[in-house]
């Protein structure tokens, strides 16, 4: 039986990854800060599917977070076959007026922890010539986003980084997939301080199950990238290519103004 390590497994898309993978008989390592949520989920999945589920309570904005997680899985002799770098958050508002420390934590979580965990587990996968990594980006990765500037830039990093790794690691039998969801029905918008009417104005809201199904199906097919959510999200990520960058960013500035 294979083992998946999922960051941000306590809520939303990460929790749904855990539930889907458990149903397909994958052992799990669940990582997030909310100990009670993780423990309850682990107990439920263990009982329901007779799996081994480990919980690692860890704030991924700490600079040594990836090292601690890696050391824990090594000490328990766990082989990670699938790494899902899912944990992330956004922060809505004018960059100059938002809390600076929160922006640094976003970089640490959305970028640094993801790169660090990838750098720790990828060499072992290459050695085994088997394994996969799913990195969760966003449709926000494809164009700059006024009022969501740092978040969109972190997701652009994740998209670029992951696609490069897909090509580098194909010869080693290691799959790297970046999944780009559109607005999805999770705690994300509350955590990001998003004005309540904006997500609906922007797009329809997907269920986390749709995102996870799209990701796992794309991984099976050996794809590098999947834009989840069908035609509407495909249009959002492709239309900017045909217009001057100033035009697109000006339209988005109006659309995402509170």
Ligand X SMILES: NC(=O)c1ccc[n+]([C@@H]2O[C@H](COP(=O)([O-])OP(=O)(O)OC[C@H]3O[C@@H](n4cnc5c(N)ncnc54)[C@H](OP(=O)(O)O)[C@@H]3O)[C@@H](O)[C@H]2O)c1
Active site (catalytic) residues: 151
Within 58-205, strands assigned E span 82-85, 131-136, 174-180
Q: How far is the CB of 80 from ligand X (least distance, A)?
A: 17
Measured from the CB atom, the residue of 87 and 165 that comes closer to ligand X is 87
What count of residues does the chain have?
A: 258
**Among 86, 118, 143, 162, which residue sits at the site for ligand X (rule: CB under 6 A)?**
86
Q: Which helix (H) or strand (E) holds 207?
A: none
Measured from the CB atom, the residue of 60 and 83 that comes closer to ligand X is 60
**Site residues for ligand X, window 56-85 (CB under 6 A)?**
59-61
Measured from the CB atom, the residue of 129 and 143 that comes closer to ligand X is 143
Interaction pattern, residues 158-197, with ligand X; x per rule: CB under 6 A:
-----------------------x-xx-xxx--x------
Find out whether 12 and 188 touch, Cβ atoms under 8 Å. Answer: yes
72: its two tokens = 């824990």
229 near ligand X (CB under 6 A):
no
Residue 94 exposed, middle or buried by CB count within 10 Å (0-12, 13-18, 19+): exposed
How far is Cα 150 from Cα 126, in angstroms, rounded to an integer?
A: 32
* Residues 6 or more apart whose Cβ sits within 8 Å of residue 45: 18, 19, 22, 28, 51, 53
Measured from the CB atom, the residue of 11 and 166 that comes closer to ligand X is 11
202 near ligand X (CB under 6 A):
no
88 near ligand X (CB under 6 A):
yes
Find out whether 38 and 30 touch, Cβ atoms under 8 Å. Answer: yes
Q: How far is the CB of 6 from ligand X (least distance, A)?
A: 9
Find out whether 187 and 8 touch, Cβ atoms under 8 Å. Answer: no
**Site residues for ligand X, window 109-148 (CB under 6 A)?**
109, 136, 138
Q: Is 44 helix (H, G, I), strand (E, B) or coil?
A: helix
Q: How far is the CB of 168 from ligand X (least distance, A)?
A: 22
Residues lying near ligand X in the complex (CB under 6 A): 8-14, 32-34, 37, 59-61, 86-89, 109, 136, 138, 181, 183-184, 186-188, 191
């Amino acid at each position: 039986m294979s083992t998946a390590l999922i960051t941000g497994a306590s809520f939303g898309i990460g929790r749904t990854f855990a539930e889907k993978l458990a149903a397909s008989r994958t052992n799990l390592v669940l990582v997030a800060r909310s100990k009670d949520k993780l423990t309850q989920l682990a107990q439920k999945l263990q009982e329901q599917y007779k799996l081994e589920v480990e919980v690692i309570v860890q704030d991924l904005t700490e600079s040594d977070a990836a090292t601690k997680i890696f050391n824990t899985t090594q000490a328990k002799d766990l082989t990670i076959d699938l790494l899902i770098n899912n944990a992330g958050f956004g922060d809505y508002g004018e960059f100059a007026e938002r809390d600076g420390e929160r922006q640094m934590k976003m970089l640490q979580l959305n970028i640094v922890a993801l790169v660090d965990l990838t750098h720790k587990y990828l060499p072992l996968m290459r050695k085994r010539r088997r394994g996969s990594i799913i990195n969760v980006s966003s449709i926000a990765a494809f164009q700059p986003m006024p009022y969501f500037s740092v978040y969109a830039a972190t997701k652009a990093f994740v998209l670029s980084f992951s696609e490069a790794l897909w090509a580098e690691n194909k010869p080693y039998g290691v799959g790297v997939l970046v999944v780009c969801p559109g607005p999805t029905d999770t705690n994300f918008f509350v955590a990001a301080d998003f004005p309540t009417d904006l997500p609906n104005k922007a797009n329809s809201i997907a269920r986390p199950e749709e995102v996870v199904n799209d990701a796992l199906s794309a991984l099976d097919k050996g794809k590098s990238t999947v834009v989840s959510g069908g035609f509407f999200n495909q249009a959002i990520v492709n239309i900017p290519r045909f217009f001057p960058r100033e035009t697109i960013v000006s339209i988005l500035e109006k659309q995402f103004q509170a």
